[in-house]
Structure formats: structure tokens, C-alpha cells
Homo-oligomer: A and B are copies of this chain.
């Protein structure tokens, strides 16, 4: 989208005034949406190779208010019992109030948003569920990137959690040494089931409202530990739009190397009814998180989003059981005792296991 009209020029100056020298380039939207489509393509392609038989089916959809997307789903595959990878690019008159509360400068302006989101529910209970979402917004004088990735094991292994986190840490560290520790904690905090007092899984990284201004942490004030992180992290030099986009691209490209080795290590592990039952039971937590806490899901459902694409994140088969607790000293109890609490997985040392 070229910035040629008078109004666009005014808008860019406004960006400059608000965010220092950080204005998006003229082709920002085209470049980010091309990236979002590229990671959707590369992820689906690699997962199809790994399945060797089942393919993603694509639905393209349009949003009456502006924009649309392409949803890709694989159902009942060899590897994935269900997997969904969505790309969307939408625009409209105004951002929803929940976002405007965080970015009041966007009020009264049209917005543009693009992103890719993914949830994979593997068939084998030894392979963790994984979620990824990266997104980009522009609205009047402001723009920002957000997103992240997190891993939810059923039958967990320290080396898998460590591999996943180390891959992310390496990606983050190449850009700024504060990124990984900040975004890792943010992830632990966001993907937390308060009513269960459990993390959703072993976490990963999560960030929002990254616009190059000094502070990394932009969580809502009412979320307790937010202040703590902002205090821990010093003011950074202003980062450019290019800096942050480069970081987000590297995050997107880090997905396959962070996850595929775990698939390959676990996909041939045999399992029986006990493991299957436990997997279905634990999938209930995924549903509880997505429907009770996840801002994106709730927002989408309440604002006339495409329901089937939003709820593609829900597992294909789920169990609830009143007062279930794992037997002590089992692989299942280890999930609760060790893996559903925040841990410094990147620092894990094999010999200590």
C-alpha cells in the first residue's frame, strides 16, 4: 500500500510523532502479509511430508466488513488427529474496544491486521500439542507486532521442553538478550489456567504490542506480575519497524526446527488406552483455556468472526472426568508436578534428569 495521498502523509507524520523514527515502510502491509502466507505454506508443506498421506484442505473466506483469509485443516491424519493453520488479512473502520483500551491512539482510525495462527493436535499422546500465532496491526498513528508459540505435552519429556525452549532462545538472542527472558515469562503468565492453578503446558514465548518503543512488556495493568516484568526490563533503545519485523520473521521460521525434531523422536512410541484416555482428558484443559481465557478466541466469537476458523483450535475428541487425579509417581503425575509449573527449560542439563 503506497503512502501517496495527503491523508496517508499526515498519518505517517503522526506515527513519527508518536513512535519516534519508527514508521512502517510504504510496503509494510504487503511484506507482512506475504510473510504470514509464507509461513502458512512452509508449515503445511512440511507437515504433509511428515504425514506422507493426508493433506490440508483449504477454505478461502471473505469477511463482509473487509478482507478475508485462507483456513487450512487436516482431519484424521496419520500424524495429526487434527491440525489447523489459518492465514487472515482484514481491515475495517475501527478496532474493538478491548484493543483500543491498550492502544488509545488508534481510536477514530481505520485498521489493518494480518496474521497466521496454528494449533496441531497430534494423534500420538507422546507428541505435544503446539500453538503458534503471529500478527501485525496498523491503525492511524500506531502499529505493532504480537504473537508467540507454546508447547502442551501430555506425556512430557525434559529433553523435548529443553529443545523447544533452546530453539526459541537462540532465535530471540540473535535479536536482543532481553527478548527471551521477557517473552518466556509473559508466555507462562498468559497461558495459565487460574481455576486449575496450572500452566497450559511448558510455555514458549509470547509478546504483544511490540512497536519499537522502549519497554518490551505491554501486558494489561490489572494482570498482577506485569509491573514486575516492566521493572525488571530496562528501557531499550528504540527499535525500528525493520528490526521487529526481522525478529518476528525469525520467530516464524523457528517453528519447524523447534517442533519437528520432537515429532520425529516421539511419533513411533507405542501407546494404549491408558495414554489415549489421559491425552483426551488433558485436551479438556486446552478447551477450558481457549474458551475461558484466550482473548483472541473470546473476542472472535463475540464479534462475528468466522466461528469455524476460530474454533479450529479445539481438539477433535475430548474427555472430562469429575475429580480425576493422576496416580502418584507416574508419567502422568510428573506432568502435573514438574511440567505444569514455570521452569527454566532452556537451562535444563541432560545429566541432571
Residues on A close to B: CB < 8 A? 59, 73, 75, 82, 84, 194-196, 280, 284, 287-288, 291-292, 298, 301-302, 304-305, 307-308, 310-312, 314-323
Contact = CB atoms under 8 A, between A and B. Distances in A.
Nearest to A297: B292
Query: Within the oligomer, what is the number of copies of this chain?
Result: 2
The A interface, classified by DSSP as helix, strand, loop or mixed, is mixed
B195 A307 contact: yes
B320 A311 contact: yes
Contacts of A305: 195
Given A288-B291, A291-B288, A317 B316 contact: no
B59 A194 contact: no
Given A291-B292, A316-B319, A316-B320, 4 more contacts: A73-B322, A82-B322, A195-B307, A284-B314
A298 to B, nearest CB: 7
Contacts of A194: 301-302
B287 A75 contact: no
A294 to B, nearest CB: 11
Nearest to A288: B291
Given A287-B287, A288-B291, A292-B298, A322 B84 contact: yes
